[in-house]
């Protein structure tokens, strides 16, 4: 295991003090170091993180891109059509979920297998980062030489690569100091909302849950053929819901999003507003952090999602802070559906001993299809 702080300081000594990325639990320590000690841009998705690093390079800096390999897909376009043609080098650290030598979740298997070849196809030189501190330092020097020759270089990061670094309270760039996590205490819990949805839905209601803890908690609270646990493809739950809502007008479709996931593909909301499915309720469980990957802040704190939804032509939009309100709005939707949006402020916290869906994804999809 590498000493994260020493490794981070080596990066800094080589001039890498600008970081951008999207969190992954395998990169948690390096991200925490970057958030605590360096300039870290919280990107909405991995492609934007690459472009932001490219901007820092054009401004004379040296930038580090951090992402989970599931986000490499989001990064392909700017890597291939910005960094490559303009000879803009990026130093990348990409985690290896779905490592063929480890047990991991089904949604990571394919990307785990193809991560090295995907980097090869992108003509990016890469290496597995060593677990040995001195060797890792040497690898870093080699990577820096590639960057100086205007060639991107990526490290593939495996499980338990970095020792723990605690995340310091975030500096709120809009309102002075403050840790977003501390202000969440009196808010609703994700599990309370999910319990209520499960209790109040009727037989025509379909519930789709976003990536991470939301899918896992919904499954833990109740498994049902009317549920879809969208364990991968972060940010896509509302588009999945849009397709279903348009094709199944007799169903009431509830899409449960996270703030990080919603921000990752916020353009979805414009498509939903344009197509006006009157049987769709889009809920964001807004804890202002990426809780599933270690609690790193998202940029949701100052975003009024409900106001944005209203501008994008959702018919009914709500900011929700208490259960009575949530329950009333949810029951109204079940009785008389209309294109609706709820921004529910939630606090951090997750059910203990959280299971992962036991059924294999193809079986879940078939079961869900039948329910539709
Ligand atoms: C494209 C992509 N990037 C990153 C990840 C890793 N990841 C899984 S869940 C998650 C955090 C989601 O945050 P949010 O939507 O706010 O939900 P919360 O975890 O707070 O419930 C991240 C970054 C992923 N699965 N896919």
Atom 17 of ligand 1, nearest CA residue = 258
Nearest to 287 by CA among 167, 177, 180: 180
Query: Over the stretch 1-24, which tens digit does the pLDDT of each residue have?
Result: 999 999 999 999 999 999 999 999
pLDDT beyond 50 at 89: yes
| C-alpha to C-alpha distances, 367 to 215, 222, 364, 370, nearest whole angstrom | 16, 15, 5, 5
Mutate which of 180, 232, 234 for ligand 1? The one with the most ligand atoms within 8 Å of its CB, which is 234
HSE-up of residue 358 (Cα within 13 Å, Cβ side): 4
Model pLDDT, residue 183: 57
367-371 contacts at long range (C-beta below 8 A, 24 or more positions apart): 367/225, 368/225, 368/226, 368/227, 368/228, 370/225, 371/206, 371/225, 371/226
Do 284 and 268 form a contact (C-beta atoms < 8 A)?
Answer: no
Ligand 1 geometric centre to CA of 211 (Å): 6
Model pLDDT, residue 357: 83
Confidence of residue 185 (pLDDT cuts 50, 70, 90): low
Quick one: tokens of 151?
A: 């060639």
Q: Dihedral through CA 100, CA 264, CA 290, CA 212, nearest 10?
A: -50
Quick one: tokens of 243?
A: 């397709």
Confidence of residue 184 (pLDDT cuts 50, 70, 90): low
Mean pLDDT of 237-266: 98
Ligand 1 geometric centre to CA of 188 (Å): 20
Angle (CA) 73-245-360 rounded to 5° is 55
Ligand 1 geometric centre to CA of 357 (Å): 17
Confidence of residue 356 (pLDDT cuts 50, 70, 90): confident
Model pLDDT, residue 81: 98
Do 269 and 238 form a contact (C-beta atoms < 8 A)?
Answer: yes
H helices within the chain, ranges in order? 4-13, 28-37, 46-58, 72-78, 84-86, 106-121, 133-148, 190-200, 213-221, 237-247, 259-264, 267-275, 305-311, 323-335, 361-371
Model pLDDT, residue 181: 46
Highest average pLDDT, of 114-123, 175-184, 356-365, comes from: 114-123
HSE-up of residue 207 (Cα within 13 Å, Cβ side): 28
Beta bridge partners of 229: 209
Q: For the chain, what is the radius of gyration of the CA atoms?
A: 21
Q: Dihedral through CA 243, CA 245, CA 248, CA 252, nearest 10?
A: 150
Ligand 1 geometric centre to CA of 369 (Å): 25
User: What is the number of other CB atoms lying within 10 angstroms of the CB of residue 167?
Assistant: 19
Query: Over the stretch 207-224, which tens digit does the pLDDT of each residue have?
Result: 999 999 999 999 999 999
Ligand 1 contact, 20 CB (< 6 A): no
Query: Over the stretch 161-183, which tens digit does the pLDDT of each residue have?
Result: 999 999 988 777 776 544 454 45
Ligand 1 geometric centre to CA of 169 (Å): 20
> Which atom, in ligand 1's list, is nearest to the CA of 107?
25
Ligand 1 contact, 273 CB (< 6 A): no
Do 317 and 306 form a contact (C-beta atoms < 8 A)?
Answer: yes
Quick one: tokens of 245?
A: 């809502």
Look at the pTM and tell me if it is higher than 0.75: yes
Ligand 1 geometric centre to CA of 59 (Å): 30
Mean pLDDT of 100-120: 97
| SS3 call for 168 | coil
Ligand 1 contact, 144 CB (< 6 A): no
Ligand 1 contact, 293 CB (< 6 A): yes
Mean pLDDT of 74-99: 98
Model pLDDT, residue 342: 98
Q: What does the alpha-carbon distance between residue 353 and residue 370 come to, in Å, rounded to a whole number?
A: 30
> Which atom, in ligand 1's list, is nearest to the CA of 264?
1
Q: What average pLDDT does the chain have?
A: 95
Ligand 1 contact, 107 CB (< 6 A): no
Query: Over the stretch 285-294, which tens digit does the pLDDT of each residue have?
Result: 999 999 999 9
């Amino acid at each position: 295991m590498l000493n994260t702080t020493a490794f981070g300081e080596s990066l800094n000594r080589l001039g890498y003090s600008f970081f951008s990325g999207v969190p992954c639990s395998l990169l948690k320590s390096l991200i925490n170091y970057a958030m605590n000690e360096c300039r870290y841009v919280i990107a909405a998705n991995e492609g934007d993180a690459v472009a932001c690093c490219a901007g820092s390079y054009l401004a004379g800096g040296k930038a580090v891109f951090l992402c989970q390999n599931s986000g490499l897909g989001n990064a392909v376009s700017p890597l291939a059509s910005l960094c490559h043609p303009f000879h803009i080098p990026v130093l990348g650290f990409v985690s290896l979920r779905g490592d063929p030598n480890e047990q991991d979740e089904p949604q990571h298997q394919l990307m785990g297998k193809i991560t090295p070849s995907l980097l090869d196809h992108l003509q990016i030189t890469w290496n597995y980062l060593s677990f040995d501190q001195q060797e890792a330092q040497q690898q870093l020097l080699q990577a820096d030489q590639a960057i100086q020759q205007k060639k991107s270089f990526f490290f593939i990061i495996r499980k338990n690569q970095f020792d723990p670094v605690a995340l310091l309270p975030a500096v709120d760039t809009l309102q002075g100091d403050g840790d977003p996590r501390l202000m969440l205490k009196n808010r609703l819990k994700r599990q309370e909302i999910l319990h209520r949805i499960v209790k109040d839905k009727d037989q025509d209601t379909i519930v789709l849950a976003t990536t991470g803890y939301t899918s896992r908690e919904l499954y833990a609270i109740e498994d049902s053929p009317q549920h879809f646990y969208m364990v991968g493809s972060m940010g896509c739950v509302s588009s999945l819901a849009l397709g279903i809502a348009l094709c199944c007008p007799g169903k009431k479709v509830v899409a449960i999003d996270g703030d990080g996931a919603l921000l990752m593909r916020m353009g979805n909301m414009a498509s939903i507003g344009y197509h006006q499915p009157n049987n769709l309720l889009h809920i964001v469980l807004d804890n202002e952090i990426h809780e599933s990957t270690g609690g790193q802040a998202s940029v949701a704190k100052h975003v009024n999602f409900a106001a944005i939804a209203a501008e994008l032509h959702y018919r009914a939009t709500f900011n929700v802070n208490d259960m009575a309100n949530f329950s009333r709005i949810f029951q109204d939707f079940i009785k008389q559906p209309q294109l609706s949006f709820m921004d529910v402020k939630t606090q951090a916290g997750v059910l203990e001993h959280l299971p992962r869906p036991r059924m294999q994804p193809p079986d879940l999809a078939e079961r869900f299809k039948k329910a539709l």
